[in-house]
Amino acid sequence: MAPQRLTSELVDTAVADYRHTTERAANLYQRGMLTDDEGCRLVERAFYDAFWALLKRNNLKFDLNAANYEQCKKEFQNYLAGMGLSNAAHATWLFDVENEPEEATKEDQRFVFSLMEHMDISPSFFEPIPDSVVKPNKTYCHTYHSASSISISFECIDDGGLLRDDNPIGKTFTLVNTLGLKAEVTIKEDRRKEDRAGMDFDEMVCQTERGMCVVKAEFLAEGDIEGYTAKDRSGNRKVLIRLKSPDRVDSLSYWENEEDHAAYYNYPLWQEYLKEMDKRQRKNREHCRSLLKSPIKV
């Protein structure tokens, strides 16, 4: 059974810090000392610290999707009405990371609802993208001056013979994922039998079932990834290949520069997803502006 992670003190402190920052941002904004963008960035950062960072520090993952969204909305309404959370079987929306896929405690679920209530949001603020929309499953791990390190889910249905090859170094393979996208990679290092550790790019932070983790990459390669990078791209062409099991590729990591981002942003398969993300970004900005324009407490 998962332990309780949150306390009323943690939640109260997060809410107080959030309100302090948003009220200060509103004060500066209404005095003409912040632009829309500057004010929204302050509010967005305060929201991240009070909600997402708090959950992450305490080994909780809030994850809404099409299967659990309606359940979460119903439970939130019950919470606001002073009713207890249901013990009946349902789709989980708050996970204990150390015990995932185990559901977090009812106490932690109530604390998350308390956070929402006092931050003037509801589960609809996190409305998930419909399952019918194809998602790139792309995570920005770090952003630097001229490039970003990216992790993508890339579950292969065909590894081109890579995992059966005992000496793949110097050879080029075509990896095909469940969406039919292809990655053309030339293997530079085979690390399957090595015990490697570190924090540089070659042992990169990746999106995994347990969230963002530093993981071992079984192969270092160079190449292009359809739908994510430019064809025959310039600059750093490194690709890290991570395995889910000895016979299955799980994810890829790479450096994204401007030409890669343009190729990704214009790729036909992602257009509906990008439109959905744009809608959510506009919704978030509207929420930020409403806070910036709120009456200032004297």
Q: Are 224 and 233 in contact (CB under 8 A)?
A: yes
What is the C-alpha separation between 165 and 163, in angstroms, rounded?
Answer: 6
- Would you give per-residue pLDDT tens digits along the chain (298 residues)? 889 999 999 999 999 999 999 999 999 999 999 999 999 999 999 999 999 999 999 999 999 999 999 999 999 999 999 998 877 667 899 999 888 678 999 999 999 999 999 999 999 999 999 999 999 999 887 777 677 889 899 999 999 999 999 999 999 999 999 999 999 999 999 988 876 554 444 555 555 555 555 567 889 999 999 999 998 888 889 999 988 888 999 899 998 999 999 999 999 999 999 999 999 999 999 999 999 999 876 5
Q: C-alpha angle with apex 17: 11 to 21, nearest 5 degrees?
A: 145
Q: Among candidates 209, 297, 295, 290, which has minimal Cα distance to 39?
A: 290
Residue 279: how many other CB atoms lie within 10 Å: 12
Question: Quick one: pLDDT at residue 73?
Answer: 96
Q: Are 220 and 188 in contact (CB under 8 A)?
A: yes
Q: How is the chain split into domains, by residue range?
A: 8-128+279-292, 138-265
What is the C-alpha separation between 209 and 95, in angstroms, rounded?
Answer: 11
What is the C-alpha separation between 162 and 190, in angstroms, rounded?
Answer: 10
Q: Among candidates 4, 211, 10, 209, which has minimal Cα distance to 103?
A: 4
DSSP state of 295: P
What is the C-alpha separation between 158 and 249, in angstroms, rounded?
Answer: 9
- Range 229-234 contact pairs with CB under 8 angstroms and sequence separation of 24 or more: 229/254, 229/256, 229/260, 229/263, 229/264, 230/259, 230/260, 230/262, 230/263, 231/263, 233/257, 233/259, 233/260, 233/263, 234/259
Strand pairing report for 172-177 and 182-190: antiparallel
Amino acid identity of 92?
T
What angle, rounded to 10 degrees, do the helices at 36-47 and 271-292 form? 100
Question: Quick one: pLDDT at residue 199?
Answer: 42
Q: What is the pTM of this model?
A: 0.84
Question: Quick one: pLDDT at residue 198?
Answer: 47
Residue 252: strand, helix, or coil:
strand
What is the C-alpha separation between 274 and 55, in angstroms, rounded?
Answer: 26
What is the C-alpha separation between 278 and 294, in angstroms, rounded?
Answer: 24
